[in-house]
Structure 1
Amino acid sequence: MNESAECLICHRGLHADEAGRYACRHCTDRIDGNLRALAGPDGLYARLGAQLAPGAGNGGPAVSGSRTAPVPLRLEVLNLMTAGGPVLGPLETWVRDWETHGWAELLEAGTLQQRVDHAARTLRFNLEWAVAHHPAIDEFAHEIWQMRRQCQAQITGERPPRRIPVACPCGAVLRVTLDTTGVQCPGCTAQYGHKEVLRLPMAERRPAAA
């Protein structure tokens, strides 16, 4: 049980009906939405298959209706689709972790798409248990968000969000984006929520070396 009075993900104060949870309801809904976006026949993972051809998803020509992708393939997309890649690999790692607590069941049979769908489904089904009992829910939330962003970037050609250097009162520089939900200062270990970190002053640019 969370002994603090704040969400471990966004570091906002928990409401009375969220007491004891590790994540607020807003962050819980965001995790659920990210898992839902990854899975299913129209989900981000399934849509990666149409991006294997060079130029696809980045203003290039559309992929033909052939089931056989042309060669050479876009290796960054292929990597996202592999069993040990940054989508299915971490999803099943979290399922294994939750399974040790009796709150998930791993399924390693079937196609890669079926395994992604099962992992996302079982993680969503047991999400309420995790936000109430799993102290690494912030790490889990970050990894699921990264999966979604990586898939979206390959499908839409979206560039990663621009990082803004802001200064902590201790003097350390934090590089954050407008989407940053929370961050810990590496210098003084101060915790900042979304609103708090965006209120920090911009860090001064260092002069170029002569």
Structure 2
Amino acid sequence: MDEPISSKAETPLPTNSDQGYSVNGDEPMPDLPQNPADSSSSDSDSEDDESNQNLHLQSLQSQLSSNPSDYDAHVQYIKILRKVGDIDNLRKAREAMSEIFPLTPSMWQEWAEDEASISTGPEALAAIERLYERGVFDYLSVSFWLDYLNFIREYDPLVQDCATSGIKKVRDLFERALTAAGLHFTEAEKLWEAYRDLEKSIYQTIAETDAQV
């Protein structure tokens, strides 16, 4: 009696290629090493970018030498110096522009952030505060005031420790901010919220200190 034919397909026998060999019996070719030209091409692109930036900087320097009142040239010059991280020339460029034009709030913020990224020691703290003071003089900007207030709260050790002089300093600064922008039609609420947050923080810190005594 014949056996029934299985419904399963027969498993094909493995071929040489399935076992890791080529049809002619040779070993399979190993993966080719990465083309060294790829990395050299990347290095070349980086060098080209740096060369182009240097040429652009030289061109902008020439423009500003012949026309110091070229606003767009100042902006582009500062932008490229910031990109390449030339902090010394960046400071000089910002000072040169600020002598002729008021810097925008975002430009003052970037300047303060760049300086804070380098150092927030006592001398640096005072210098950065002066930058913020110059910025609030140039423009009425709630976001810039908030940035200034947050900087003082975060980096001034007397404010962090809730020392009497520190509390007075930050409260006085908030009062100045509210006098300047407390009636701003769309953003004044942000200042009031920040002030409430400050007072809550001061209260909690004092309460915790008293509880430990």
Which TM-score band applies after superposition, normalised by the shorter structure?
Answer: under 0.3
| TM-score (norm: length of structure 1) | 0.22
- Give the TM-score, by structure 2 length: 0.22
User: Would you tell me which structure has more helix in proportion to its own residues?
Assistant: 2
Rg larger in structure: 2
Considering fraction of residues, name the structure with more strand.
1
Which structure exhibits the higher relative contact order, with contacts defined as CA atoms closer than 8 Å and separated by 6 or more residues? 1
